[in-house]
Amino acid sequence: MHEREEVPAEAAPEAFDSFFLREHDTVLGLALALTGDRGIAEDIVQDAFLEAFRRWDRIGAYDQPGAWVRRVVVNMSVSSFRRHRSELRMLRLLVARHRSAVTELSASTVAFWDAVRMLPKRQAQVAALFYLEDLAIADIARILEMAEGTVKKHLHDGRKGLALALGDDEVDR
């Protein structure tokens, strides 16, 4: 990744800071849902906001800069098996700071997000945005840059996959 002088910081620092404060926790939750690891999630969120900061003169002018940062986070969080295996390879599960994050959550919650992460990439992204952020189909489509019909298909397939993995009989919405 190319480093460059961070000119946008001088251009609109308050705007970026307020954006960060508004979005940080939600975006961190999204990254945590898709990675299952607090340390990795924090690294991804840091990188995503750093990219936003560097380009803030352009991204800050978007109607929904939050959609941009979410797109970056979901793409960094779930990037096919390469991502899955690299997370495993980072040895972070051997490091105590990462264990604490897992134990904060109940077993049923951990099992649910584990099942989400085992879905195919696009289904996992759609499921995380749908359930965690309660976003409308149109908003998810905008974030993931796909047609609304495609989002619906991934959501349908993802819910079926989750029901199967979790032993549930039905879905209700």
**Stretch near another protein under the rule CB under 8 A, chosen from 57-65, 66-74, 145-153, 160-168:** 160-168
Residues 20-49 that bind another protein (CB under 8 A): 20-21, 24-26, 28-29, 32-33, 36, 40, 43, 46-47, 49
- What would the x/- binding string for another protein be over residues 107 to 136, using CB under 8 A? -xxxxxxxx--xxxxx----x---xx-x--
Q: Binding of another protein at residue 11 (CB under 8 A)?
A: no
Distance in Å, CB of 78 to another protein, minimum:
10
Helices 148-166, 107-118: crossing angle, 10 deg rounding: 130
- What would the x/- binding string for another protein be over residues 48 to 67, using CB under 8 A? -xx--x--------------
DSSP structural state of residue 37: -
Handedness of CA 131, 136, 138, 139 (dihedral sign): negative
Residues 62-91 that bind another protein (CB under 8 A): 79-91
Tokens matching residue 25: 């926790």
Q: How many CA within 13 A on the CB side of residue 113?
A: 21
**Spatial contact of 52 and 65, defined as CB atoms under 8 Å apart:** yes
Tokens matching residue 162: 């989750």
**Spatial contact of 126 and 154, defined as CB atoms under 8 Å apart:** yes
Instruction: Count the residues of the shown chain that bind another protein, applying the rule CB under 8 A.
Output: 73
Considering only 102, 136, 138, 147, the residue that binds another protein (CB under 8 A) is 102
Q: Binding of another protein at residue 171 (CB under 8 A)?
A: yes
Distance in Å, CB of 34 to another protein, minimum:
11
- For the chain, the straight-line distance linking the first and the last C-alpha, in angstroms and rounded, comes to 42
